């Protein structure tokens, strides 16, 4: 299933971002490495449990895979452009990891540009939180518990165990299903190996173990672990937001939040030390996220009905009615209602003529025709082609358009026997690529979190009347971990507010 993100702005950079071909090559090398080592059976001692277990991937290979995957995650999602916030999160993560069973791994902790509450870890040390998760949490203790949970997946080598059970081989089959590199994105493969690693589903026992490890790591670092269940309670309220994140929901493979809250209560009851004087960090945390973008960022592009609009790159493109449309970091993707046709917009390199020649010159591509011209006054080059894949022969059209200092690739593809039916729709989408002049689009700004200190005790409803937010009251209660609008909040409390851009 394709998942929505956003097309990133590259204006001001000397060159557009690398094309999917390079990510494909890196993915192939990574998978070949994994397949090579999978032929050698080995046992290793689990760093957390001390038990011996099957391990087909060494620690050095685990680290290499994680580092390559992390590069793809950063390239695809992008990091939140707030160095102070990044240093803050990394500092807490490093503090927890340094006291774990694997302190010498190359640990890294970063916040990525995704509005959905989420957190995930890659093998060998990289941990990522989404901007949406940062907006949902309320304290440093909650942050430590989430980071500790993801650290636990790495210290216990959960992803390595999954790969050792042949799940990576299955992913390799999926990634290798298309012969033509330029078509590697077709069929939902645009995200690359970094994201493929995330789709290794942990078992429920792995998740419970990571909860226990995260609890211990946070407690040993001096954080009040009684805050930990607040994260799960918020996730329980927010539910799964399907189709709004590039990675599996943080709750999707975990035990039910109610069960996790109960388990945390049991762990707290078993703690022998008195839980007094521990760090919560409510005010510190909220001050750190003051000004954080909330929700989707329109500067990265957005849909208005069937039209995709990009304020920073100042272009628009219209898709057919009824198509499922997704905005990924490096591409905009639309799929027909019957899922038998797909259109992808992404950046390319070189002039339209050179880019078309390179595309049509690939092995496996059979050129049907090629033309040069303009699209709404912008130089363009168009080709019709067929391509052989393991799924059969595909037919498509590709157009390269030079606009605003960038070259854009518009790729439309379907089965060879369906091309005549879709050709007119493909051409209409290509011809719709044009400059944006609407000031409401060009000046669109994201919503942001601001933090308010209550001057007097009041209910959340009264707070919202006095300091209005652009989100519904129920959502405001959720991100402030308040039960309802009638909940009375003491004076001096710091509360989030979401203001419009």
Query: How large is the average pLDDT for residues 94-108?
Result: 97
Q: Is position 318 within any domain? A: yes
Q: Is position 360 within any domain? A: yes
For residues 298 and 238, the model is more confident at 298
Domain boundary among 289, 307, 323: 289
Residue with tokens 């994680």: 66
Q: How far apart are CA 139 and CA 194, in angstroms?
A: 29
Query: How large is the average pLDDT for residues 301-327?
Result: 95
Lowest pLDDT segment from 6-20, 86-100, 431-445: 6-20
Residue 49 backbone phi and psi in degrees, to 5:
-90, -25
**Percent with pLDDT over 70 in the chain:** 78
Q: Is position 17 within any domain? A: no
**Is the pLDDT confidence value at 415 over 90?**
yes
Q: Is position 142 within any domain? A: yes
**Is the pLDDT confidence value at 281 over 60?**
yes
**Is the pLDDT confidence value at 254 over 60?**
no
- Assess whether 457 and 429 both reside in one domain: no
Domain boundary among 417, 442, 467: 442
Q: Are 111 and 128 in contact (CB under 8 A)?
A: yes
Q: Are 129 and 289 in contact (CB under 8 A)?
A: no
- Enter the tokens of residue 166: 């042949």
Q: What is the mean pLDDT of the chain?
A: 83
Q: What is the pLDDT of residue 33?
A: 43
- Assess whether 334 and 250 both reside in one domain: no
Q: CA dihedral defined by 131, 132, 137, 142, rounded to 10 degrees?
A: -70
Q: Is position 112 within any domain? A: yes
**Is the pLDDT confidence value at 3 over 90?**
no
Domain boundary among 442, 457, 483: 442
**Is the pLDDT confidence value at 372 over 90?**
yes
Query: How large is the average pLDDT for residues 50-69?
Result: 83
- Enter the tokens of residue 143: 């942050």
- DSSP structure class, residue 470: S
- Assess whether 275 and 304 both reside in one domain: no
- Assess whether 219 and 306 both reside in one domain: no
Q: What share of the chain is helix, strand, coil (3-state, %, to 5)?
A: 40, 25, 35
For residues 206 and 103, the model is more confident at 103
Structure confidence by residue, pLDDT tens digits, 343-371: 999 999 999 999 999 999 998 899 999 99
Nearest to 96 by CA among 73, 118, 113, 121: 121
- Assess whether 487 and 423 both reside in one domain: no
- Assess whether 150 and 266 both reside in one domain: yes
Query: pLDDT-derived band of residue 2, with 50, 70 and 90 as boundaries?
Result: very low
Q: What angle do CA 477, 483, 484 make, to 5 degrees?
A: 70
Q: What is the pLDDT of residue 221?
A: 95
**Is the pLDDT confidence value at 156 over 70?**
yes
CATH, residue 486: 3.10.350
For residues 264 and 201, the model is more confident at 264
- Assess whether 194 and 338 both reside in one domain: no
pTM: predicted TM-score of the whole model, two decimal places? 0.78
- Domain of residue 166, residue span: 22-289
**Is the pLDDT confidence value at 217 over 50?**
yes
Q: 3-class DSSP state for residue 97?
A: helix
Query: How large is the average pLDDT for residues 409-423?
Result: 95
Structure confidence by residue, pLDDT tens digits, 380-390: 999 999 998 87
Query: pLDDT-derived band of residue 166, with 50, 70 and 90 as boundaries?
Result: very low
Q: Is position 250 within any domain? A: yes
Query: pLDDT-derived band of residue 268, with 50, 70 and 90 as boundaries?
Result: confident
Q: Are 241 and 192 in contact (CB under 8 A)?
A: no
Q: How far apart are CA 171 and CA 166, in angstroms?
A: 9
- Assess whether 70 and 159 both reside in one domain: yes
Query: pLDDT-derived band of residue 195, with 50, 70 and 90 as boundaries?
Result: low
**Is the pLDDT confidence value at 320 over 60?**
yes
Lowest pLDDT segment from 19-23, 37-41, 168-172, 357-361: 19-23
Q: Is position 5 within any domain? A: no
**Percent with pLDDT over 90 in the chain:** 60
Q: How far apart are CA 378 and CA 465, in angstroms?
A: 49
Query: pLDDT-derived band of residue 35, with 50, 70 and 90 as boundaries?
Result: very low
Query: pLDDT-derived band of residue 212, with 50, 70 and 90 as boundaries?
Result: very high
- Assess whether 363 and 456 both reside in one domain: no
Nearest to 340 by CA among 413, 265, 267: 413
- 390: exposed, middle or buried (Cβ count in 10 Å: 0-12, 13-18, 19+): exposed
- Assess whether 314 and 335 both reside in one domain: yes
What is the tally of structural domains in the chain? Answer: 3
Q: Is position 14 within any domain? A: no
Could you tell me the CA-to-CA distances from 201 to 167, 204, 206, 369, 374 in Å, in that order?
A: 9, 9, 10, 44, 47
- Enter the tokens of residue 43: 């046992």
Q: What is the pLDDT of residue 259?
A: 78
CATH, residue 414: 3.40.1000.10
- Assess whether 41 and 129 both reside in one domain: yes
**Is the pLDDT confidence value at 480 over 60?**
yes
- Assess whether 302 and 266 both reside in one domain: no
């Amino acid at each position: 299933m394709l998942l929505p993100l956003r097309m990133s702005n590259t204006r001001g950079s000397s060159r557009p971002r690398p094309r999917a071909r390079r990510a494909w090559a890196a993915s192939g090398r990574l998978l070949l490495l994994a397949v090579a080592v999978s032929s050698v059976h080995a046992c290793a001692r689990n760093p957390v449990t001390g038990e011996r277990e099957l391990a087909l991937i060494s620690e050095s290979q685990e680290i290499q895979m994680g580092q390559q995957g992390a590069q793809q995650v950063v390239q695809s999602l992008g990091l939140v452009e707030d160095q102070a916030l990044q240093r803050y999160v990394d500092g807490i993560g490093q503090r927890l990891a340094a006291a774990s069973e694997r302190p010498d791994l190359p640990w890294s902790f970063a916040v990525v540009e995704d509005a959905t509450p989420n957190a995930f870890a890659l093998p060998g040390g990289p941990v990522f939180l989404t901007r949406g998760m940062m907006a949902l949490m309320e304290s440093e203790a909650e942050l430590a518990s989430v980071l500790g949970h993801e650290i636990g997946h790495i210290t216990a080598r959960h992803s390595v165990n999954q790969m050792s059970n042949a799940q990576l081989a299955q992913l390799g089959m999926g990634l290798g299903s298309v012969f033509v590199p330029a078509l590697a994105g077709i069929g939902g493969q645009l995200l690359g190996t970094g994201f493929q690693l995330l789709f290794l589903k942990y078992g429920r026992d792995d998740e419970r173990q990571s909860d226990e490890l995260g609890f211990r790591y946070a407690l040993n670092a001096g954080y009040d672990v009684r805050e930990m269940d607040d994260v799960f309670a918020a996730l329980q309220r927010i539910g799964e937001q399907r189709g709004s994140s590039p990675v599996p929901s943080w709750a999707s493979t975990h035990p039910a939040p109610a069960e996790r809250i109960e388990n945390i209560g049991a762990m707290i009851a078993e703690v022998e030390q008195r839980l007094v004087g521990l760090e919560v960090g409510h005010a510190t945390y909220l001050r750190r996220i003051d000004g954080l973008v909330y929700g989707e960022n329109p500067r990265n592009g957005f849909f208005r009905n069937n039209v995709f609009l990009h304020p920073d790159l100042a272009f628009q493109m219209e898709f057919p009615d009824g198509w499922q449309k997704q905005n990924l970091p490096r591409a905009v993707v639309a799929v027909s209602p019957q899922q038998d046709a797909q259109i992808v917009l992404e950046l390319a390199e070189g002039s339209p003529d050179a880019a078309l020649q390179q595309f049509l010159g690939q092995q496996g591509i059979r050129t049907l025709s090629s033309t040069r011209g303009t699209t709404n006054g912008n130089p363009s080059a168009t080709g019709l082609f067929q391509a052989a894949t393991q799924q059969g022969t595909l037919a498509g059209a590709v157009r390269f358009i030079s606009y605003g200092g960038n070259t854009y690739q518009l790729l439309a593809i379907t089965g060879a026997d369906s091309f005549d039916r879709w050709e007119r729709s493909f051409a209409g989408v290509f011809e719709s690529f044009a400059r944006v002049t609407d000031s409401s689009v060009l000046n669109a700004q994201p919503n942001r979190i601001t933090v308010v200190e209550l001057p007097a005790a009041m209910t959340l409803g009264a707070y919202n009347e006095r300091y209005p937010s652009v989100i519904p009251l129920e959502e405001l209660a959720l991100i402030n971990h308040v039960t309802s609008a009638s909940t009375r909040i003491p004076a001096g409390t710091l509360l989030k507010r979401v203001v419009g851009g």
